Chains A and B, each alone.
Chain A
Amino acid sequence: MLRIIKTRIQQKYRTMAYPDGPPPELPSRFTGRPVVNHGTCRDGCDLCIAACPVHAIHMSLDTEGPVIDTGRCIFCRACEEACPAGIIHFSREYRLATSPRHELFVQAGSPEHGPARHEVAVRFFNRSLKLRQVSAGGCNACEADTNVLATLAWDLGRFGIQFVASPRHADGLLITGPVTENMRLALEKTYAAVPDPKIVIAVGSCAIAGGPYVDHPEQHNGVSDILPVDLFIPGCPPHPLTILDGLLRFIGRVG
């Protein structure tokens, strides 16, 4: 018993100050939201488009520069390396989540981060959000970094957000994975079991657009074609801070 108490003292108080204090320190090599600088692409240059393994980039007719779909992006930095004009670079911005899908597109002049506030979520779930997690394909990294939020360092419970065992007890689903054909029915049934009003959160590039498996016939390119999605949290996988920030902005707990 004394040893347990001694260990408790040695392990200290570890819950982070965020969001009241500063966010936890991110590693120096962290890959955050991409930024597209104003500048001129060389005539006909499409090296970034060719370099992207998941076809997340297209050319804008307005800005005549690249547009990056951060929902599809797997944050591999191949476009940054390929760009001869230095127009694309990845920042350390961790606020990647947005509520409307179209806000995930980043081009020259895009704001630092997109909006994630959702009026239904703010109204009903501001102080209590119970989620059922469904893993629908993917690699288990998004699940791992979602699970991390329940550890004492992040302590998700202090915001009234909790993962519950049954969809009947849930206010919505948090979905990871590209939705494999083998998981589609189970996902639909789980969604049907959640009482209204309900919300759907897609975490990770798989759940948003298929991730590395985009266009494989064994999966469905993410959740959007199967269920209405209210919050998109990009990343491969998203950093736990990105997920937490997304959830808090979604329910209006931070601005």
Chain B
Amino acid sequence: MTSFVFLSTVNGQAINRAEIPVFDFKDLRAAIIDYVKAGARISGLPAWREDDGRLRMVAVLSMPASGDILLGACDMPDSWRSLTPDCPSAHWFEREIAEIWQVMPEGHPWLKPIRFQPPRDLQLQGKIPAIGITGFFSIKGEESHEVAVGPVHAGIIEPGHFRFLCHGETVYHLEISLGYQHRGVERAMTGGPGPRSIHYMETLAGDTTIGHATAYCRAVEALSGIHVPPRAEAIRAIAAELERIANHTGDLGALAGDIGYLPTMSYCGRIRGDVLNMTAILCGNRFGRGLVRPSGTAYDLDRELIELLITRLNSAEKDLKGAVEIMFDTPSVLARFEGTGALSEDTAREIGLVGPAARATGLDCDVRREFPYGMYRFAQVHTCTWTTGDCFARAYVRWLEIKASIEFIRRQLLELPEGPVSLNVSPLRGDMLAVSLAEGWRGEICHVAATDSKGRFAFYKVIDPSFHNWFGLALALRNQQISDFPLCNKSFNLSYCGHDL
């Protein structure tokens, strides 16, 4: 174990920024590698410019075995020995720091921009390359070819650029180039919270409105030292599980569509809408806009609405069972799913995969259980895993999770705690830092918020689960047929906007 001890805290607790131990970069690097070897995950590596001009980075490591969140900081030199060769899950984080702050991780195996965003320091403006203009791996030889797709795709989906390096039909490597959705959210959060802050959070990834809004509100609540009434915690958890069911249902339908199994595609497309409409019963909006607010929720449930939700839940459950089970009972479906785009548990752990994609490889990770927050401190949701790590596993884990979430919601609706749904808010305390983890439907959401001496955000860092998982998709496609890309892509269903911010 490392001789450099990090500060230990827990999910959703604010600590004084001065308490975070500061190391030399060399020592911090050694400590991160040791902690990761001992089972920690890199949840975040936010860096920010201090008032005196130093570039400070804090390593946010989450330790599933103990439920601790470990923090250690350093002042970043202009160039440093890259972590990635010894700790591959730092890969994307180092690229992000290099891009935003124009500093150099020496020896990084594939250093290039992840978002093509303007550097944060104004004097460095103008150095930014045009979107998509960067190095790509290339392939040469007989029957070798490259296929470039995007940013505008054939369906109604977000923009991203994919480049396949192929030999015949076999994909040797997929390069993913993002940043088309970059709209400057983290930059705009600095100096907040302001009137738009909650709206930025609700639109980080529109399909994860509840997940990100909850992570944000928990960070703000920790920084201002307020507690959330139990009834609001329960409503937040109900909304979070509805979000999971709706998206998983949509994904199962889309997976069926990608392999031409139309019954499940048609039914799940409709049932997803029914579940979104249940979220709209809570707050009027199908994506949960306006529901989660600092100190609680903006809406309560009365007896009539609870009964309506239970009726709708029962009917969605019945429809889903029919729609999904016929798919998993069909040999031609299994033949397309099984063995396609497989990742091993070791690879998943090494690259820091999260969420259903990680659980599909057998990695038993779930923020709700490992770093419990909100209602999940009192009521557990079963963690669903599979072992094969292929498209089948990613589909089947979703189905298992849908069933677990339905059970959870039903129990919460029947046992909703009494009392108010929100309390008074109070201002944020100065010079504090809080890490807020939540299990969104795609996996671990991590928000790191720090305040300046006046209680304004000195920086606000968002790590969407897609940030960890895009590289997983690239690896899953190796040695697959190019025609399997839509299926593999849908089985991950990652967020472009959540990544691009």
Cross-interface CB contact of B323 among A7, A135, A140, A146, cutoff 8 Å: A7
Q: Which residues of A contact B159 (CB under 8 A)?
A: 134-136, 183, 186
Contact with B along A50-89 (1 / 0, CB 8 A): 0111100000000000000000001111100000000000
Check if B181 sits within 8 Å of A177, measured CB to CB: yes
CB contact list, B238-290 vs A, under 8 A: 263, 266-267, 269-270, 272-273, 277, 280-287, 289-290
> How many residues of chain A are within 8 Å of chain B by beta carbon?
65
Check if A218 sits within 8 Å of B156, measured CB to CB: no
Bound-state CA distance A190–B495 (Å) is 22
Chain B residues with CB under 8 Å of chain A are 116-118, 131, 151-152, 154-159, 179-185, 187-188, 194-196, 199-200, 203-207, 209, 263, 266-267, 269-270, 272-273, 277, 280-287, 289-290, 299, 319, 322-323, 326, 329, 495-497
Known: A11-B319, A27-B281, A135-B156. 6 other contacts (CB 8 A): A3-B326, A14-B270, A31-B290, A212-B203, A217-B118, A218-B183
Q: Which residues of A contact B283 (CB under 8 A)?
A: 29
Smallest beta-carbon distance A5→chain B, Å:
10
Check if A212 sits within 8 Å of B206, measured CB to CB: no
Check if A178 sits within 8 Å of B183, measured CB to CB: yes
Bound-state CA distance A117–B118 (Å) is 41
Bound-state CA distance A75–B287 (Å) is 13
Check if B203 sits within 8 Å of A141, measured CB to CB: yes
CB contact list, A1-60 vs B, under 8 A: 3-4, 7-8, 10-11, 14, 27-31, 51-54
Given the known interface contacts A7-B323, A135-B156, the answer about A141 and B273 at a Cβ–Cβ threshold of 8 Å is no
Check if B287 sits within 8 Å of A237, measured CB to CB: yes
**Does any Cβ of B come within 8 Å of A107's Cβ?**
no
Q: Which 5 pairs of residues, A with B, have the shortest CB-CB distance?
A: A141-B206, A29-B284, A139-B206, A165-B154, A151-B269
Smallest beta-carbon distance A210→chain B, Å:
9
Check if B290 sits within 8 Å of A76, measured CB to CB: yes
Check if B199 sits within 8 Å of A137, measured CB to CB: no
**Does any Cβ of B come within 8 Å of A138's Cβ?**
yes
Smallest beta-carbon distance B244→chain A, Å:
15
Given the known interface contacts A29-B283, A137-B181, A140-B207, the answer about A8 and B158 at a Cβ–Cβ threshold of 8 Å is no
**Does any Cβ of B come within 8 Å of A192's Cβ?**
no
Most A Cβ at <10 Å: residue of B159, B185, B495? B159
Check if B152 sits within 8 Å of A190, measured CB to CB: yes
Check if A54 sits within 8 Å of B196, measured CB to CB: yes
Q: Which residues of B contact A7 (CB under 8 A)?
A: 263, 267, 322-323, 326
Cross-interface CB contact of A237 among B188, B206, B290, B329, cutoff 8 Å: B206
Check if B181 sits within 8 Å of A180, measured CB to CB: yes
Cross-interface CB contact of A216 among B154, B184, B497, cutoff 8 Å: B184
Bound-state CA distance A14–B289 (Å) is 27
CB contact list, A216-255 vs B, under 8 A: 216-219, 236-237, 239-240
Given the known interface contacts A78-B195, A151-B270, the answer about A211 and B326 at a Cβ–Cβ threshold of 8 Å is no
**Does any Cβ of B come within 8 Å of A93's Cβ?**
no
Given the known interface contacts A53-B199, A144-B206, A145-B286, the answer about A186 and B151 at a Cβ–Cβ threshold of 8 Å is yes
Smallest beta-carbon distance A156→chain B, Å:
11
**Does any Cβ of B come within 8 Å of A120's Cβ?**
no
**Does any Cβ of B come within 8 Å of A147's Cβ?**
yes
Check if B199 sits within 8 Å of A152, measured CB to CB: no
Check if B329 sits within 8 Å of A180, measured CB to CB: no
Check if A11 sits within 8 Å of B299, measured CB to CB: no
Cross-interface CB contact of B195 among A30, A53, A147, A211, cutoff 8 Å: A53
Q: Which residues of B contact A190 (CB under 8 A)?
A: 152
Chain B minimum-CB-distance residue to A142:
B206
Cross-interface CB contact of B156 among A76, A146, A152, cutoff 8 Å: A146
Cross-interface CB contact of B284 among A30, A134, A135, A218, cutoff 8 Å: A30
Q: Which residues of B contact A103 (CB under 8 A)?
A: none
Q: Which residues of B contact A177 (CB under 8 A)?
A: 181
**Does any Cβ of B come within 8 Å of A171's Cβ?**
no
Check if A29 sits within 8 Å of B270, measured CB to CB: no
